């Protein structure tokens, strides 16, 4: 676990203007930071505690960026839920819950606190280590791939309606009918939009949204270029590899958070699985989508066929779920 530097904590707690907060738990963590919960924790120098953390992002009185890590996960969860409902909530962590105060922000934040200098990294003399910076999402790679999967999970209905059920990649990599499948493409802007948490603010911080004149990156979705036709490559090696590795998770559980299950409409669940170089998004009552590091921007649909339903059911049983 990252040691708590008392001077750094004091500097961050002194007149900290809270801009936003996110959860860092096995079932809910910023996927841009890693394929699983331990990897996301390692990006911040934290031990992967079972109960997780809350991350509070803000600025001190001098405008410096700070990420305050607390172990009161429930407090941050309540704050996020309140903000999502349009309610004000004064997120003021008790100093006894502070695990560490880290310089910088690990995620992009689209707003700034009013009445203080523009966001900047803290003075090295007051910071314990180099400042955190958001992962590079300017070009396609693991971070962009995971953000693209986030976008599909969030906008499932929009992506699903682009798929012709008569012709798309089946679980064994072949075609279920016809010669072509409708495949989408995740644009750089779409994936980048998922890089930032939904910037929420209350009290004094509430005016930060107004004064900046900007909308939080996570609050908007740009148009997609989905709907372009793409030839189905029978026996697609990438899809076969992803499904084989996902099946292996059932027999040999992967690191915590690699497979997550969340609510969907009806009795269905939304499944998210990640692995080295790939992400899979699926609905337990429907199809799946695969994204690969080595296929920039491509979204490969996977038909249910005879094997996918059983695989999704098995993954859902072992997946981490929000408490």
What is the rounded average pLDDT of the residues 42-70? Answer: 96
Max intra-chain CA distance, the chain? 65
Distance CA 141, CA 111 (A): 26
Residue 14: which pLDDT band, with cuts at 50, 70 and 90? low
What is the 8-class DSSP label of residue 50?
T
pLDDT, residue 140, reads 96
Residue 213 included in any domain: yes
Per-residue pLDDT tens digits for 191-203? 545 455 545 544 3
Per-residue pLDDT tens digits for 124-167? 888 788 999 999 988 999 999 999 999 999 999 999 999 887 75
For β-strands 278-283 and 269-275, DSSP reports them as antiparallel
Out of 4-13, 96-105, 205-214, the most confident range is 96-105
pLDDT, residue 225, reads 38
Residue 216 included in any domain: yes
* Cα dihedral sign, 166-281-76-221: negative
The rounded mean pLDDT for the chain is 81
What is the rounded average pLDDT of the residues 174-199? Answer: 49
Residue 29: which pLDDT band, with cuts at 50, 70 and 90? very high
Indicate whether 301 and 162 sit together in one domain. yes
CB burial of residue 50 (10 Å; 0-12, 13-18, 19+): exposed
Among 197, 251, 262, which residue's Cα sits nearest to residue 31? Answer: 197
pLDDT, residue 220, reads 31
For β-strands 180-182 and 98-103, DSSP reports them as unpaired
pLDDT, residue 5, reads 44
- 201: containing domain: 1-135+190-222
Number of residues assigned to the chain: 323
Residue 323 included in any domain: no
Per-residue pLDDT tens digits for 265-301? 889 999 999 999 999 999 999 999 999 999 999 999 9
| Number of domains observed in the structure of the chain | 2
Is the backbone of residue 118 left (phi > 0), alpha (psi -120 to 50) or beta?
A: beta
pLDDT, residue 189, reads 52
Residue 84, pLDDT above cutoff 90: yes
Indicate whether 12 and 53 sit together in one domain. yes
Indicate whether 90 and 181 sit together in one domain. no
Indicate whether 296 and 164 sit together in one domain. yes
pLDDT, residue 309, reads 96
What is the 8-class DSSP label of residue 262?
E
What is the 8-class DSSP label of residue 252?
S
Indicate whether 100 and 128 sit together in one domain. yes
């Amino acid at each position: 676990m990252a040691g708590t530097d008392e001077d750094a904590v004091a500097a961050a707690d002194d007149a900290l203007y809270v801009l936003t907060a996110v959860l860092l738990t096995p079932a809910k963590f910023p996927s841009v930071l890693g394929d699983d919960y331990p990897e996301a924790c390692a990006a911040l120098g934290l031990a992967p505690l079972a109960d997780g953390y809350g991350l509070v992002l803000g600025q001190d009185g001098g405008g410096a960026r700070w990420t305050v890590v607390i172990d009161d996960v429930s407090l941050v969860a309540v704050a996020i839920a309140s903000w999502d409902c349009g309610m004000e909530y004064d997120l003021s962590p008790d100093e006894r819950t502070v695990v560490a105060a880290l310089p910088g922000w690990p995620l992009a934040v689209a707003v700034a606190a009013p009445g203080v200098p523009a966001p900047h990294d803290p003075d090295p003399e007051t910071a314990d280590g180099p400042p955190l910076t958001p992962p590079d999402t300017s070009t396609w790679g693991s971070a962009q791939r995971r953000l693209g999967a986030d976008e599909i999970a969030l906008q499932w209905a929009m992506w699903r309606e682009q798929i012709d059920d008569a012709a798309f990649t089946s679980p064994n990599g072949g075609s279920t009918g016809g010669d072509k499948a409708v495949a989408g493409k995740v644009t750089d802007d779409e994936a980048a939009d998922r890089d930032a948490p939904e910037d929420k603010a209350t009290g004094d911080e509430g005016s930060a949204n107004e004064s900046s004149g900007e909308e939080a990156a996570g609050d908007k979705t740009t148009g997609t270029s989905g709907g372009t036709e793409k030839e189905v490559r029978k026996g697609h090696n990438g899809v076969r590899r992803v499904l084989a590795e996902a099946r292996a998770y059932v027999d040999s559980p992967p690191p915590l958070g690699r497979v997550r299950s969340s609510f969907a409409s009806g009795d269905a669940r939304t499944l998210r699985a990640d692995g080295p170089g790939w992400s899979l998004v699926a609905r337990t009552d429907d199809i799946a989508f695969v994204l690969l590091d080595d296929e920039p921007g491509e979204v490969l649909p996977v038909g249910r066929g005879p094997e996918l339903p059983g695989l999704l059911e098995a993954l859902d049983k072992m997946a981490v779920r929000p408490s």
